[in-house]
Amino acid sequence: MAGNADQMPELLLASASPRRRELLTQLGVQFTVVPANIDESILPGELPESYVRRMAAGKAEAGRRSAGGRPALGADTAVIIDDRILGKPRDRADALDMLELLAGRTHQVISGVAVADGTQVLERLSTTKVSFGPISAAEREAYWATGEPRDKAGAYAIQGYGAVFVRHINGSYTGVVGLPLYETAELLRCIGLNPGSGPADS
């Protein structure tokens, strides 16, 4: 696909996440949001990296098929600790348990991004280490009360109130938010898009 502005393919963002929309807007590419609903169940014995890759690719393909076959970008983010994948909390108790598990420790955040254009599915992974300070029971309860942990992997948002728990990060900040921009830009160049060429019209 050609990379000039006149022939640039319209990109689909296969995600309803406002955070991913905001991040993709930073790259200055044109895109349309088409949420992709797929089964996000973890397969028996599935490794975290494999799970995140499968989810990102599955969302990209679902988005492409649902909107006339145009190129689609999918992404997925998982929080990993003790070889356990922490997705979005089921409820208050699950969120408090996740925060207690992460408190005072270092965990990994793996973000996968994939682009499907009908002829191929290209993928990239971003892995970041995030270290939390201690979190008291009262702080966990207060954080849950903000509403922020409800739809976040690992029950926290580094771009929101959850940032107060973060002592150190080693890797991609945008990957922890949900869309690693360096890897995303690499993939977009592969399908003829030119990140940074101008503001997105979404």
- Report the pLDDT value the prediction gives residue 5, as an integer from 0 to 100: 39
Q: Domain for residue 45, yes or no?
A: yes
Is 198 a domain residue?
A: no
Q: Which CATH number goes with the domain that contains 71?
A: 3.90.950.10
Q: What is the pLDDT of residue 118?
A: 83
Q: Kindly state whether residue 184 falls inside one of the protein's structural domains.
A: yes
How high is the pLDDT of residue 10? 80
Kindly tell me the number of DSSP H helices and DSSP E strands found in the chain: 6, 7
**Residues labelled as active-site residues:** 76
How many folded domains does the chain comprise?
A: 1
Res 2: pLDDT:
34
If you count them, how many residues does the chain have? 202
User: Would you say the C-alpha torsion 148, 16, 33, 128 has a positive or negative sign?
Assistant: positive
pLDDT at residue 70 in the model: 86
In a domain, 95, yes or no: yes
Q: Please state, in angstroms and rounded to a whole number, the distance separating the CA atoms of residues 115 and 175.
A: 16
Domain containing residue 88: 5-190
pLDDT tens for the chain, 202 residues long, are: 333 334 445 899 999 889 999 999 999 988 999 988 899 899 999 999 999 999 999 999 999 988 777 899 999 999 999 989 998 899 999 999 999 999 999 999 999 999 999 889 999 999 999 999 999 999 999 999 999 999 899 999 999 999 999 999 999 999 999 999 999 999 999 988 888 765 444 4
Does residue 176 lie within any of the structural domains?
yes
> Is the residue at 158 inside a domain?
yes
- Supply angle C-alpha 33, 54, 19, rounded to 5: 35
Q: Is residue 129 in some structural domain?
A: yes
Which pLDDT score is estimated for 119?
87
Which burial class, exposed, middle or buried, applies to 45 when counting CB atoms under 10 A from its CB (0-12, 13-18, 19+)?
A: exposed
Residue among 67, 176, 19, 94 at smallest CA distance from 168: 176
Inside any domain, residue 202: no
Work out the burial of residue 174: count CB atoms within 10 Å of its CB; fewer than 13 is exposed, 13-18 middle, 19 or more buried: buried
